[in-house]
Chains A and B, each alone.
Chain A
Amino acid sequence: MAIRPILSAMLRNKTGAILVGLQIAITLAVVANAVFIIMQRVDKINRPSGIDSENLFFVQSYGYGPNYNHRDTVRHDLDLIRALPGVVAASVTNQIPLSGGGQATGYRTSAGSDTDVTGNVYNVDEHGVAAYGITLSAGRPFTEQEIQYDENVGSKFVPSIIITEALARDLFGESSPLGKNVYDNLGQSAVVVGVIGHMLGAWVDWDELDHVTLHPRIPDGPAVRYVVRAEPGRRDALMLEVEKRLSAADFSRAISWVRSHEYYTERSYRNDSRMVALLSVMIVLMVAVTALGIVGLASFHVNQRRKQIGTRRAVGARRVDIIRYFMLENWLLTTAGVLIGTILAFAFGQWLSSAYALPRLEPIYVVSGIILLWILGQLAVFVPARRAAAIPPAIATRTV
């Protein structure tokens, strides 16, 4: 079909064409960038944590008063929790992965070295690896004899340590860290007994999130946290059970809370999931508005050109020719729109990445956006185009 008559018809109504083209251009720029941001956030939220997140829950007990005995309370609580049916394993823990709160410290490969590598520390007992559901890629979990408990001697290091592969790589390169020594800031050493394949630490926006270490230590009081791993499906029931049992035990302490790990991941990723939700709503509305706009404008043009369409039909154009005319007209408009839109999308993406330190927009999102808008435009214009095709040729013979 000849494009020239369509173009000259469009030129007669330049403003209308420009408006639709601009609308498509901005839609492409926004949709491509928004989907790109959404995909990054979804990837971030869904990255593996390295722990048995969905079956984990945490308990905090907070001791007070002169009668509080930290060591006895911890021993009693863990014995009680481990004896409950449905509990796979339980351990003390100082902090909670992906919760936004945690401890980090620097590790060195020699005493007094100037350069250190930061790792997120988790103090656990001999059940720690099992309780978190961590997979060791080399070495062994802690033994009972290794577990440290020193009241008020916070700066004493531990005899042995378990570290993630990512941290080991930054410390020792590609060679195996097993059996090697790492040093703390005071020059005390610990030997690496286990290597974790992958595990995430406390702060979801930290770029060294996979630098995690386990220390064999029961943290000092008066606050203590436990990590409990339940058999699949039994977490929620166990949470109630544990809270009831521990509260009933007669110690000078308060059970501050019992919370699932999901509670923490949901909160930590809330900024990201919120962005995903808001951007998704925006994209859907924007695409809908643009599509309806195309339908509305095309309907008008059909009404305006009833007589011309009738004339064309009268001089031999088939219905399919009329439909094809409108579809082609829309395709031309959309194509012009997405050409400008591509420039806009990359310019917008460039601005986002420089102003907000976001990654650069990947072209695949623009290409997908173009295809989406082409299809959308064709679908939107099809309804009015079919109505145009239904105009009887006889209309040509009537005067206005």
Chain B
Amino acid sequence: MEQNGRIDHSIISLEHVSKRFESAGRVKEVVNDVSLEVKENEFVVLFGPGQCGKTTMINLIAGLEPASGGTVTVDGKKVEGPGADRGVVYQTTALFPFCTVMGNVEFGPKSRGIDKKTRRERAQYFINLVGLEGFEKSYPNQLSGGMRQRVGIARAYCNDPKVMLMDEPFGHLDAQTRYMMEEELEKIWQKEKRTVVFVTNNIEEAIYLADRIILLTNCPTSIKEEYIVDLPRPRSYVDPEFLKLRKTILDNTEETL
């Protein structure tokens, strides 16, 4: 592996990764021989129909589930379990309900024993970045869905991970909030560049955010096609180029059952 080749160095790599689940003696193939390289600071969107193994792929990279075959490498190290070098933003937000916004955002740094002043400052920076200034002392059940997801993003960022894994973070939001959050995420990402793997089943969201879209097949998931999106940012949902790409991808997408 090439060392410190800053820009073209691939930070996440999946080599012939597959995943099978077993229950009651039946084997279900979910991910089938996926190979993928993600470059540093690249925004990659995994796009695919409803119940394909997108979340499973995120969990494989996160190390929350072991791969049945193949290897996942992040920043040169083989993934063998969960770790702080990968930040996850969950669809269900998975905020700690018993912690305030501040408590949630500083959870990671606190776990790693960073002193209070430093971690507070850092957490405050990210709380401000996601636009939640003034809500530091609120509990998650006092926040709206969009605000909770902002906390989730700030929490992942605050731990300073090498890569960010986002599992349909806006899946539960209403359409209006969703557009707003997409714009917001793009702004945050421009300001705090990270490698992002983002899962969605919403095509506009995919094209709006991605540097590269990986189109997945139905279960068992494999890579069907890749699209480089090189439209200038911030993008417009009604740009003809945008719409053309949208049609191309949708035509190639399999119907969900």
A and B associate in one complex = no
Q: Give the interface of A toward B (CB within 8 A).
A: none
